[in-house]
Structure 1
Amino acid sequence: MQTKTLAAALVAAMTLSMAGASLAQSPTRAAGSDTAASKPAGERASAHGMRGHRGPGNPVDALARFDTDNDGRISRTEAQAGQDAMQARRDAKRAERGTRGDAARAEAPRSEGARSAEARGERAKAGPGGPRGHAGRGFDLVANFDAIDTNRDGYLTRSELRTWHTAKAAERRAEGERRFDTMFREADLNGDGKLSRVEVTEKMPRLADRFAWLDENRDGFLSREELQAGRPQR
């Protein structure tokens, strides 16, 4: 009984000490908040840094940099020049990464798997999915210029780009749903509308280690809803 009383007293003392420290620091925080609030927009520090200096955060407004003559629209020539510049930057970064990778491989001992891949003439993959092409990275204004330019005036405006981007996003979601349905049906070997651990191990081995995590209702199966909950929303 005496031990329990001492433990309770110790916990109470620690709680009071922490509360006092918090009260002592709160004026400082308030003063800091007032200072931040008094700064002009663009100078306020946020949890992600100085957002005011990072430029637009959505893909449509990010294309404003293509409008080099600042007339509020993008011509075909500006679209071509902008994409050429982006491609040049990507090529330069890829070359830089390749140079760093070559240096690292020269310094580090090569594994048997790497030597075998080189002997077969296989190229190293860039990331889990291998090298990625331009498709899917964003807007291809040159290839889709006429489709985006709905009023056929030879220029792309913000509203036209937004409309096209929204339509393409819907198409990508629909295509993703079709692929998901196909994969689910192929994995559902007995056609009962849910996936057992055996089915997942055989048809979706990458999910096997996370089976228990994904099985939220703990019934020993993965439903469509449980799998879809973990899919990225685009």
Structure 2
Amino acid sequence: MFRRSLSLLPLLLLATPALAADKVDPKIKADFDKTDTNHDGFLTRAEVDARVARMDVGKAKMPAGKAKAIAGAWFNTADANHDGKVSPAEMQGLFRALASRYDTNHDGVISLDERAAARAAVLGGAGAGPVGR
């Protein structure tokens, strides 16, 4: 359940074509920098926990327990080399994997219809509609 909820987090960043493997997409880097509060070039578990805790869900704040679980699942998935921190490249790798999963027509872009389908899949079809930009 939490792994499925986790996949909602990067949907806003997925509407960009893939870049060369050695370059981090500027939108992903900007989001990374917002989370990297100590500016050391890596995300710690505490930084990810704090970022997810600040997220809104609709008109309300995400419940603390759910935020912690989602942040933990996101961090564990993103930390590909299991060194206890997430680099910009690891973050982009996770987002690319998610984008690949949701880009059903394989054109390199998540369309509004593909976003809506992804959201419906994550939410189990309940209350799912097109995701705004």
When the two structures are superposed, what TM-score results if normalisation uses the length of structure 2?
0.40
Q: Which has the higher contact order (CA 8 A, sep 6+)?
A: 2
Higher helix share: 1
When the two structures are superposed, what TM-score results if normalisation uses the length of structure 1?
0.24
